[in-house]
Amino acid sequence: MPPTADRACAAELSSLRKSSLARSPIFDRSPLEKEFRQRIAIVRKLLDATDSSPGAAGEMSPIDVSRETRGLSIVLLYAAYENLLKGISRTLLESAVQLRLGNRRLKPEFQVFAIHSKLRALTDISATQIWKGSGRGVIDALLNEACSINSNIFPNDGSHMKTAQVATLCEAYGLNPPGPLLQEAWGRINTVVSERNSITHGQRTPEEIGRNYSIGDLRNLVEIWERRWCEFLADVESKASTRDFYRDPR
């Protein structure tokens, strides 16, 4: 193929990529929201199937497992929330990578993710090695014109998905404070985490946890959980849908 044809082909490919990027939202919440709502729908199905209230689907069931189901519902609500947070983190990082911004053009929040492996490596070396190239390696990575973000990194703070973890995620990415967005769900997070942990670690049974809730309590919590986390996700999309969210202004 003649050189002019090569250049024309490359230009057309570049134009198609730019056009595709322009058409696609930078941060698309749709897949995350769909999966989250599907997980919530499973909780509702379980509650419906074991609801022993008069006229409810589970009224005539010969075995009453409604308490166990309510306890397991807490575990599933936790799983839906944990998966959503990790999905948000991964999508934000993937969005930054797809914008093809070099490390030097990223905002500091995203630069931390770009040099994450370098920073971790510094904790495993002696103080003298910092001055023999390892420290300069961090600076070189920051000035890199390519993007070295690993989208599998999650800003884990060790709080095991309690409210502190949500706050850490928002601070790490420069998102809005989560408390006002999550409203009444914010005050329920630590309880859900604690009860889930007590079940999965064998400290308490699903039945014991289920005794803390009536069927109405659980249905109300499920409603709050779905509504507020979807509103939180929509706010993330609103913030993260412009290039300026990811790049440092020159």
Q: What are phi and psi of 106, to 5 degrees?
A: -75, 155
What dihedral angle (degrees, nearest 10) is formed by the CA atoms of 23, 148, 165, 109?
-80
What's the pLDDT tens digit per position in 48-87? 999 866 555 555 555 788 999 999 999 999 999 999 999 9
Q: In this predicted structure, what is the pLDDT of residue 122?
A: 81
CA distance 153 to 163: 19
Q: In this predicted structure, what is the pLDDT of residue 214?
A: 94
What dihedral angle (degrees, nearest 10) is formed by the CA atoms of 181, 182, 187, 191?
-150
Distances (CA, A) of 156 to 25, 115, 160, 168: 27, 16, 8, 8
Please say whether the beta carbons of 113 and 224 come within 8 A: no
Give me the tens of pLDDT residue by residue for the chain, a chain 250 residues long.
455 555 555 555 555 455 444 457 899 999 999 999 999 999 999 999 998 665 555 555 557 889 999 999 999 999 999 999 999 999 999 999 999 999 999 999 999 999 999 888 887 777 777 777 777 788 888 888 899 999 999 999 999 999 999 999 999 999 999 999 999 999 999 999 999 999 999 999 999 999 999 999 999 999 999 999 999 999 999 999 999 999 998 7
